[in-house]
Amino acid sequence: MSSRPELQAPPEFFYNDTEARKYTTSSRIIEIQAKLSERALELLALPDDGVPKILLDIGCGSGLSGETLSESGHHWIGLDISQSMLDIALERETEGDLLLSDVGQGLGLRHGVIDGAISISAIQWLCNADKTVNNPRLRLKSFFSSLYRCLTRGARAALQLYPENQAQLEMITTAAMAAGFAGGLVVDYPHSTRAKKYFLCLICGPPSITTTLPKAKGEHGESCSEEGSSDEDDGTVNVAERRRPRKKQKITKKGKGREWLLKKKEQMRRKGHTVPPDTRYTGRKRKTRF
């Protein structure tokens, strides 16, 4: 069976009571999720004004990622589709406000009230539909457009994800850009199999707002505690700058000419085929009939 949880069962079933508890008590998971959420918070580039912000934790689970937001003094709202994960979050007395919600159906929040959003290891789930009515493209569209609407202009979202493949990554980033976001992917430790991490960094607002992406980690050989990496090139991929598809080549239909036709007819005759005689009309361009 595939090791990817998304291919095993829908999230609300996969993260059942047993799995939710196992997930939340694993010291390895606790450590990894804390690091990822610290990095996501850093990528939000919130103003250092000492004012607590209202943030979202999308796919908050049992509150491991939200804990980083609380520790930094921010208020947060956590959304998750799994009742079992949210039950554990309540049991752990996490400080965020929790909403049982399928973010693929939109966030359902007021417009322009959220100062930033993080999501840790969750949004790849939106690409797996358990029913034919759950079209991943439509779910991504509802998710990103509602996220765009609830953020204040200039606010950022830092979404860490585990894409299954390049096509999935494209589908997610395309949906985000179509919703109006600027920004793109920041890939930390791009050459390390284990430490490589994808963060979709989105900026909400008109194009006049600065859209410079943060630098990826692991560009100059600095190592990650998870795995050493000797990365040389820039792991940052700005979606706005990606190569656009080439313009379709114009195919002009050009006749092959009388000479070519006469040669072809001669070849056919030599092979013994019955071919109409050559006349002054052979190879002549026909008039278009309507």
Ligand X SMILES: C[S@@+](CC[C@H](N)C(=O)[O-])C[C@H]1O[C@@H](n2cnc3c(N)ncnc32)[C@H](O)[C@@H]1O
Amino acid identity, residue 59? G
Nearer to ligand X, 147 or 182 (CB): 147
Q: Judged by CB under 6 A, does residue 65 bind ligand X?
A: yes
Q: What share of the chain is helix, strand, coil (3-state, %, to 5)?
A: 35, 15, 50
Question: In what helix (H) or strand (E) does residue 69 lie, and over which residues does it extend?
Answer: helix 64-71
Nearer to ligand X, 160 or 173 (CB): 160
Interactions with ligand X, residue window 91-120 (CB under 6 A): 102-104, 120
Q: Which of 43, 81, 161, 203 binds ligand X (CB under 6 A)?
A: 81
Nearer to ligand X, 81 or 195 (CB): 81
SS3 286: coil
- What is the smallest separation between the CB atom of 113 and ligand X, expressed in angstroms? 19
Angstrom distance (rounded) from CA 174 to CA 244: 12
Nearer to ligand X, 27 or 208 (CB): 27
Q: Judged by CB under 6 A, does residue 85 bind ligand X?
A: yes
- What is the smallest separation between the CB atom of 78 and ligand X, expressed in angstroms? 8
- What is the smallest separation between the CB atom of 137 and ligand X, expressed in angstroms? 14
Amino acid identity, residue 2? S
Give the list of residues 6+ apart from residue 43 with CB closer than 8 angstroms, or none: 156, 158, 186, 199, 201, 214
Find the part of the chain contacting ligand X (CB under 6 A) among 74-82, 148-156, 185-193, 265-273.
74-82
Q: Which residues bind ligand X (CB under 6 A)?
A: 11, 15, 33, 59-61, 64-65, 79-82, 85, 102-104, 120-122, 125-126
